[in-house]
Amino acid sequence: MVQLQGLGRVLCHPLTLAVVSLAGVFAAGRAEHEWLSVPFSLALVAALAGLLFLASGRLAFSVYLAWMGIAFVTVVSAIKFRLKGFSLHFYDTVFVSRDPEVYRFLLGSYLHLIAPVIIALGLGIGAAVLLFRIDRKIGWPVSARVLVMAALVVLVPLTFPAEASKDRYFYYMQGRHMSAFFVSLLDLHNLVVESGFEKRLQAVAPQPPFADTVDCGDRADLPDVFFVLSESQSDPGYFPQVGNGAGFLQRFAPGAGTPHQMQVETFGGGTWITNLSLMTGLSATDFGWRSPYLTITLQDKGRRSLAGGAGALRISDCRDDADGLFVRQ
């Protein structure tokens, strides 16, 4: 017990807090991959510490718990970015987390990554409880703690990164592990603000099919299956949350053939990854952080492909082709 109290005095000493926070500043620089967004990340830590200090009145406990909380989010975001090329987003908790199949898939495929994070979370909770018991309350009145919290919270919008104000989608693809999740909270308005999408759907008049006047040669040589990749559109009927979406694409149904939904393993990332998985039969997820670069590293390494049959697989990068992939004999 005496040793525990001695450790508590060391951890709660202002010099120790300063050293830990300084180390956190350098860690933030590495987690963000550049220093322009680090002030915003540090403001998040300070604001969270201010809220905890207001609630608990314990300074050391508040500082340590704020760093641990932000660090946990940073680690989860870094793992997701390494696998998918996209940082942790608030939508992950809204859409993905409600699907039980997601948990079965994650536990079955990535238990080696999930287990250490859960263990670290448990150790962090235990350390937080211990710090709460060791750290003593500072005799500051509530009014003073409110002023401290308000001053720290104001720093968050003042340090908000300018690049996230212009186009947040690309911000999530730049490896901003520490700040991306909190930046994504600005996308919450998309869940509550009613858009005019349904009205536009209702206003679309039925369209006649395209005239079948194109001569494609001998039908015996034509493919039996066509894959259509719509880069920026999808059938609203696939999403039950969109009212009046069912039957939308039927207004543009082809004169012959029946369209079917194709499922791929990637979403919200590079189109070339989807193309590569389809054409080669390889799972880009198996390559981890290398998945965005497979169109380059796999060039001339494939012997068979879906479209080309036997022959070398030639894969272009996105500078040569909008979809990033083509196959030649």
> pTM of the full predicted structure?
0.67
Is pLDDT above 80 for 98?
no
pLDDT of residue 233: 66
Please check whether residue 81 is in contact with residue 169, taking contact to mean a CB–CB distance below 8 angstroms: no
Average pLDDT estimate for 252-256 = 58
- Identify which has the larger pLDDT, 141 or 10: 141
Share of the chain above pLDDT 70, in %: 74
pLDDT of residue 219: 73
pLDDT of residue 85: 77
Average pLDDT estimate for 273-300 = 75
- Identify which has the larger pLDDT, 101 or 195: 101
Kindly state the DSSP code that residue 174 receives in the 8-state scheme: T
Q: pLDDT tens digits for 199-224?
A: 776 777 777 777 777 777 777 777 77
Is pLDDT above 90 for 146?
yes
Average pLDDT estimate for 131-140 = 87
DSSP string, 235-271: -GGG-TTSTT-TTTGGGG--SSS-------S--SS-H
Distance in angstroms (rounded) separating the CA atoms of residues 283 and 104: 18
Using DSSP's 3-state secondary structure scheme, residue 309 falls into strand
DSSP string, 115-164: HHHHHHHHHHHHHHHHHHHHSPPP---HHHHHHHHHHHHHHHHHT--HHH
- Identify which has the larger pLDDT, 175 or 327: 175
pLDDT band at 14 (very low <50, low <70, confident <90, very high): confident
Q: Where are the domains of the chain?
A: 2-191
pLDDT of residue 322: 40
Distance in angstroms (rounded) separating the CA atoms of residues 271 and 85: 12
Average pLDDT estimate for 281-297 = 74
Q: pLDDT tens digits for 37-82?
A: 999 999 999 999 999 999 999 999 999 999 999 999 999 999 888 8
Average pLDDT estimate for 162-189 = 87
pLDDT band at 32 (very low <50, low <70, confident <90, very high): very high
Average pLDDT estimate for 160-168 = 84
Task: Supply 288's token pair.
Answer: 């981890």
Least confident among 71-75, 152-156, 309-313: 309-313
Mean pLDDT of the chain, nearest integer: 78
Is pLDDT above 90 for 261?
no
pLDDT band at 166 (very low <50, low <70, confident <90, very high): confident
Please check whether residue 324 is in contact with residue 229, taking contact to mean a CB–CB distance below 8 angstroms: no
Average pLDDT estimate for 230-245 = 65
Share of the chain above pLDDT 90, in %: 31
